[in-house]
Chains A and B, each alone.
Chain A
Amino acid sequence: MKTSRLALVPAIAIIALGLVACSTSYSGGGPLKIAVSSPPPTKKAEVLSGTLVVDAAASLTETFQKLGDEFHAKNPGVTVTFNFGGSSGLAAQIVSGAPVDVFASASPATMKTVTDAAATSADPVIFVKNRLEIAVPADNPGHITGLKDFTDPAKKIALCAPEVPCGAAAVTVFKNAGLTAAPDTLEQDVKAALTKVQLGEVDAALVYRTDVKAAGDKVKGIPFPESSTAINDYLIAPLKASSNQKLAAAFVAWILSSNGQKVLSAAGFDLP
């Protein structure tokens, strides 16, 4: 819940830069074009306003921040607030009645929790896919080369807890590889696992490829072939709890737009 105010600063810059660009990007028939009955001829079809609360998987932090800023820049009347966290925890909050407009989950299972409770106002859509990668500190102190190093009790290993999607994916990967991991800690979400790598407290962690990319120079990623056996589908859906369905639908469309997909792909996500 830390985005909305901070988002204003870059947003102002983006508005200033994007005044000309705006007219062209809207004429392309983008998903943001919301039909209005009587717009003044000089104004674009743009009446979105209000506050939007988006619960999104922790692994979407950087991309959704960016896309949220852009969304706000294009719709200055809209304030987007993000709540990033483990998908399962977010799903539990939504089912318990949290006032959330859009949910983006990192796994079908967590989205199912929400659809089972009939809390979505439209069918969830797969918007990206993600795969696991080995994350090691930049100098790789544990000399990690592949998945088999995760079975060495002498190495400090962080995995996600099996209750959250990245942990469930890790379980699948180890099962398919026929290996028994020897983790030292089972972190509550993927960012917590990554932080332990960034601080050099563990020799390796299994996180999403996108997280490795987002962490920059401090973390080195090691792809491994078994990762293709556990590819996560990310789903997004507007929620019934939203008091502004039009806005919620517009944000979902924004994520599925070519620009949204471009930003997500650049961050290391596979497109569906």
Chain B
Amino acid sequence: MVGPVQATPRNAKGGGSTRRGTLTDRRGSGIPGILWIPAVLALCFLLLPLLALVLRAPWATLPHQLFTPVIGSALVLSLVSALCATALCLVLGIPLAWVLARSQGWAAAPRRVLRALVLVPLVLPPVVGGVALLLLLGRNGVIGRYLDEWFGLTIPFTTPAVVIAEAFVAMPFLVLAVEGALRGADRRFEDVAATLGASRWYIFRRVTLPLVVPGVAAGAVLCFARALGEFGATITFAGSFPGVTQTMPISAYLAMQTNPDGAIVISLVLLVVSVLVLVSLRDKWISGVAA
């Protein structure tokens, strides 16, 4: 959790500020020697556990373990639910980020409270988030009770519950990134558009949003990665059933109980998928920042 949390504000700032990028490039050689030691240590700290995973992987039986229906269905479920969660976060998170970014005119107190509340899922233990979701949307939950009574709809133990749990945990990543980008965006473009007679909705769609696309992309990637790795809120709120709610992290956890090799294989697949996602989108979002 620590990595993405620290990365977010940096990405968020980078998303809007073009000057920052060129300055860093110019001064790239001026890294004080003493910083190298902790920097290399930090890199080892982040990479060595993953290296151990790769080294200890049962390569001989890997293909055999990989192509089991359990892993296949868990992988598909994980990808689909993480994509849906990211879509949900985009639809709801961008407007929220916009409200947060444009709340400078408000009194300080409500603005701070609002920001803090939005970020709560970021620091909340995911299991607590899962319990909270159960108490809200569960069969006896504050809202869930009426969904059940009126529509016969129960959310827990279904794939939508997985999406909801993942979106709950991942949305702050997107909101942070997009809000940072919006704050950094040059508002004079909007002013010009307004003087030319564009409506607020038109300005938002055709001026503001295109300006912050890199920030949105960065946020969406972090959001997707967080959703893909989600465990605590999912297993608490959505439960665990193969093909319905048992995502990759949950099947890795359960496999660890009896079949550590299987757990390593699942972890490896998750690792590869995560790296692929980050690498494939990296160029896009960095060039986006520089543009």
Contact = CB atoms under 8 A, between A and B. Distances in A.
A123 interface: no
Nearest to A183: B241
B257 A156 contact: no
Contacts of B65: none
Given A199-B138, A200-B138, A201-B134, A188 B240 contact: yes
Interface residues of B, number: 26
Contacts of A200: 138-140
A264 interface: no
A218 to B, nearest CB: 11
Given A184-B157, A201-B134, A196 B239 contact: yes
Contact of A201 (B140, B240, B246, B257): B140
B8 interface: no
B239 A163 contact: no
Given A161-B240, A185-B240, A201 B253 contact: no
B161 to A, nearest CB: 10
A88 B236 CA distance: 19
Q: Among the interface residues A88, A156, A163, A164, which one has the most CB atoms of the partner chain B within 10 A?
A: A163
Contacts of A163: 254-255, 257-259
A30 B258 CA distance: 38
Contact of A184 (B241, B254, B256, B259): B241
A186 B241 contact: yes
B239 A158 contact: yes
Given A156-B154, A185-B157, A89 B139 contact: no
Interface SS majority for chain A: loop
A89 B134 CA distance: 25
Contacts of B135: 199
A137 to B, nearest CB: 9
A88 B256 CA distance: 8
B159 interface: no
A186 B240 contact: yes
Contacts of A186: 239-242, 246, 254
Contacts of B236: 192
A86 interface: yes
Nearest to B236: A192
B256 A92 contact: yes
Q: Which 5 A-B pairs have the closest CB atoms?
A: A185-B239, A88-B257, A163-B257, A200-B140, A184-B157
